[in-house]
Amino acid sequence: MDTGLLIEKTILVVVIFAITLFIATYQTYMERKVAAWLQDRVGPDRAGPFGILQPIADAGKMFFKEDFIPANADKWLFIMGPGIAMFTASMTGAVIPWGPPLEMFGRTVVLQVADINIGILFIMGFASIGVYGIMIGGWASNNKFSLFAAIRASSQMISYELAMGISIITLVLMSGSLSLGEIVQQQHGMNWNILYQPVAFIVFFICSIAECNRAPFDLAECESELIGGYHTEYGSMKLGFFLFAEYVNLFISSAVISALFFGGYNFPGMDHFSGNALAILGTAAFFAKIIFFIFVIMWIRWTLPRFRYDQLMHLGWKKLIPIAMINLLITAVVIGFNSGWFTKKSAKVKQTEKSVAMMPKAKVDAQANYKINFNN
Amino acid sequence: MSSLEIIATVLGGLTIGSALMVVLSPHPVRSVLYLILTFFLISGNYILMNAQFIAVVNIIVYAGAIMVLFLFVLMLLNLSKDNEPKSSIKMKIAATFAGGALLTVLIAALKDSVILPKTEMLENQQGMVENLGQLLFTKYVLPFEMSSILFIAAMVGAVLLAKREKQIIE
């Protein structure tokens, strides 16, 4: 490993972390403005022009509040809870491809921290352990309402993870790769996965809102039943971390949705650009998509009422999982049919040809390009 | 000692330490948390052997799903020193025998294994998704399918048990 790569990746990690925190901070402002807009109010407008300094004022307030730990709480786990929530939320950004490669100081900088060949599974892994922050924090508070919230959160996460995983498998079948970099590469131009897999997108979208614990799935912090939910006993910046982790999760899941289904950094007419212009425009397009999805999820939050708990489980287990399964079955059959598995000739077709034949033409080209780039 | 060997040694030591803490920790919830940490460290060991797929699947399945259910149950049980179920001497003897039998099997299985030099571990391509898939669906297809049938049987059994209880209540 050369030193240049090490420096490059370190800078990239710091930049992505800073951008994630910045966007998460301004999501709180955006959420309040969107809520105000949908409810025909003005929203925060005191700190700075248009209230633009409101998140900074809020963060300052959080830091200066009393850092309180309940007497009967498990002290270490009480402190660990928000830390784990924040850690798991910010880890996922490492495998997301943020843009086309950038030419800088005679080097090709890939705008992705780690293009591991199991990128999607990495995201699934961190989505599934994200619940530990809530569980540990809720249990360590030694408060029955926090415990209820922790149990609700964990059962909800486990239920929705299944449908989410199945819809991802459908996508993996289509693209023939588990690497996020390659999946985004294959969606060159307007060849987005949403056009091939609308059902998988709907399932994935609903599940990712549920995994973020956002309304209408925010039963873990349902204030009409559970006071404040899992963070009832928390105050100061520990509470801030929990709330902040939720916004980081929202940002990352919007990024994953845009990368998997809406082409990531690809945009129509991208062939007219090359080099750094393409890199900058692609990254801008990606962030525009992310902000659009953040807005849509906020819109849903301020439009729909919260589910009842049995409705939530009903939707997860009896609606989404069967839909995702049927979608997976149909996709698999269509792919098998296209690659000639049901005709006699199929026996002679080699494995590699099969996997190529099942993709649309443009995808094959994109994959070939990717392989060339990768080998260089 | 190369840097890789240092990492492997530290990681192995941490894994064994946290696995020991699972048994030694007096509080059940902390035990489970140490067990989760152990799974993460085992995943770290897998990554060191260049088996990324197994590492991530280990986290998704064990740390992400099974241990959440463990924690779920333990949190509801409210276990403490006072209401800990007393285990009889018979149970302790049985547990020792069962554990000893498992240890014998593990030692027998590991006795003939070949220890690769650490430098070769990174070039090992066997843990990559493609190679693993090839192996699972060709060489080991029978055990693979058998274990999936076993899982389906267990799932159907669980659903059946849950259903039957409901009918009695009604």
CATH assignment of B3-125?
1.20.120.1200
Highest mean pLDDT among A168-177, A248-257, A337-346: A248-257
Q: Which of residues 317-346 of A touch B (CB under 8 A)?
A: none
Taking any CB pair shorter than 8 Å as contact, residues of chain B touching chain A are 29-30, 33, 36, 52-53, 56-57, 59-60, 63-65, 68-69, 71-72, 75-76, 128-129
| pLDDT tens-digit readout, A160-183 | 888 888 898 888 888 888 888 888
Dihedral angle sign, alpha carbons of residues A209, A213, A214, A215: positive
Distance CA A260, CA A92 (A): 14
User: Which among B56, B69, B76 has the least Cβ separation from residue A118?
Assistant: B56
Disruptive mutation site among B75, B79, B125 for chain A (greatest number of A CBs within 10 Å): B75
Instruction: Tell me if residue A99 falls in helix, strand or coil.
Output: strand
Give, for all 170 residues of chain B, the pLDDT tens digit: 677 788 888 888 999 999 998 888 877 888 888 898 899 899 888 888 778 888 888 888 888 888 888 887 877 776 665 666 667 788 889 989 999 999 999 998 888 777 666 556 666 666 677 788 888 888 888 998 999 999 999 989 888 887 765 555 55
pLDDT tens profile A88-101: 888 888 888 887 77
> For chain B, what are the domain ranges?
3-125
Most confident of A8-22, A211-225, B80-94: A8-22
Query: pTM of the entire structure?
Result: 0.82
The pLDDT of residue A104: 73
The phi, psi pair for A108, rounded to 5°, reads -95, 110
Q: Is the dihedral of CA A48, A288, A110, A176 positive or negative?
A: positive
* Residue A371: per-residue pLDDT: 47
The pLDDT of residue A354 is 46
Residues 118-177 of A with CB under 8 A from B: 118, 121-122, 124-125, 128-129, 131-132, 135-136, 139, 147, 150-151, 154-155, 157-158, 161
A104: which strand partners? A107
pLDDT for position A13 = 86
Measured N-to-C along each axis, helices A131-140 and A236-261 cross at an angle, to the nearest 10 degrees, of 160
Of B68, B76, B126, which to mutate for an interface test with A (greatest number of A Cβ within 10 Å)? Answer: B68
Mean pLDDT of chain A: 80
In total, chain A counts a number of residues equal to 376
Which residues in chain A have their CB less than 8 angstroms from residue B33's CB? 77, 136
Residue A105, both tokens? 């100081």
Three-state secondary-structure class, residue A311: helix
Query: Could you count the other beta carbons within 10 Å of the beta carbon of residue A4?
Result: 12
Sequence-separated (6 or more) residues with CB below 8 Å from residue A104? A276
pLDDT, one tens digit per residue, over B5-24 is: 888 888 889 999 999 988 88
Asked if pLDDT for residue A299 goes beyond 70, the answer is yes
Cβ of B63 and A129 within 8 Å? yes
Q: Which residues of B touch A77 (CB under 8 A)?
A: 29-30, 33
User: What pLDDT band is residue A38 in, cutting at 50, 70 and 90?
Assistant: confident
Name the residue in chain B with its Cα closest to that of A120. Answer: B56
